[in-house]
A = this chain, B = another copy of it.
Amino acid sequence: MKNERGRVLVVNPNSNRAVTELFSAELEPLRFADGPEIVCETLAEGPLGIESELHVAMVAVPLRKLILERNDADAFVIACYSDPGLYVCREATPKPVFGIQSCGISLALSLGERYGVLALKTASIKRHLRYLRQLGLVDRLAGERPLDLSVAESAEGEHTFGRLVEVGTALRDKDGADVLLLGCAGLSRHRRPLEEELGIPVVDPVQAAVAMAVSTVRFRRTTR
């Protein structure tokens, strides 16, 4: 039976359930009493972390399959910062499909003047820059700097917050960023403390994308 309120399906393309649970908990504020349901799932076929071009490529077809199977959802969010399979999925369905990097930058551009990105690793930056050129959103990039953490460390590690403060400070003070973007799906819980610590807005890309999905569903389902 179809959900009356509508449903947003958020898919974690890596198979690490801990990450899915982490960001799901941080989506609580978007679970309105009468708003769309927000369901988070883990892609069984995904690698443990998406850290290479191979990983990005591997998950595109399984993501498409999942999206085609889930008739119960009204909108989809692909919750990995590399936006894997975004165009493949969009091609497969008339329903809206959101990529978190694209949405995260969109929100950052609406909150500040120049955005700085906290990437997990140096190696990801090259891939991200290529995608930024593709998105045509390079002009207001203040800089992207690596945390030099693995996906696992970023999820658990004690010193993750310390690194976020350190790298975020450099983006703010050396690169001139006045809004920051977390460059990974597993850092949501640090968004608010980091914002308070640094005094400039911090965007979590999963939250940014799910908020867009929630309102899009709402506008499509509600009768005036």
**Most B Cβ at <10 Å: residue of A58, A103, A136, A218:** A136
State the majority secondary structure of interface residues on A: helix
Task: Determine if B126 and A134 form an interchain contact, defined as CB atoms under 8 angstroms apart.
Answer: no
Interface string of A176-200 (1 = CB under 8 A from B): 1010000000000101100000000
Cβ of A127: which chain B residues have Cβ within 8 Å of it?
Answer: 87
Interface string of A154-194 (1 = CB under 8 A from B): 00000000000000000000001010000000000101100
**A52: interface (CB < 8 Å):** yes
Q: How far is the CA of A140 from the CA of B137 in the complex (A)?
A: 9
Q: How far is the CA of A68 from the CA of B34 in the complex (A)?
A: 32
**A102: interface (CB < 8 Å):** yes
A59 to chain B, nearest CB (A): 9
Cβ of A136: which chain B residues have Cβ within 8 Å of it?
Answer: 133, 137, 139-140
**A106: interface (CB < 8 Å):** yes
Interface string of A81-117 (1 = CB under 8 A from B): 0000101101110001011001100110111011000
Cβ of A106: which chain B residues have Cβ within 8 Å of it?
Answer: 106-107, 109-110
Cβ of A178: which chain B residues have Cβ within 8 Å of it?
Answer: 126
Are A28 and B224 also in contact (CB < 8 A) when A85-B57, A88-B54, A91-B52 are?
A: yes
**A17: interface (CB < 8 Å):** no
Cβ of A99: which chain B residues have Cβ within 8 Å of it?
Answer: 110
**A222: interface (CB < 8 Å):** yes
Q: How far is the CA of A61 from the CA of B47 in the complex (A)?
A: 14
Task: Determine if A57 and B88 form an interchain contact, defined as CB atoms under 8 angstroms apart.
Answer: yes
Cβ of A26: which chain B residues have Cβ within 8 Å of it?
Answer: 224
Task: Determine if B201 and A96 form an interchain contact, defined as CB atoms under 8 angstroms apart.
Answer: yes
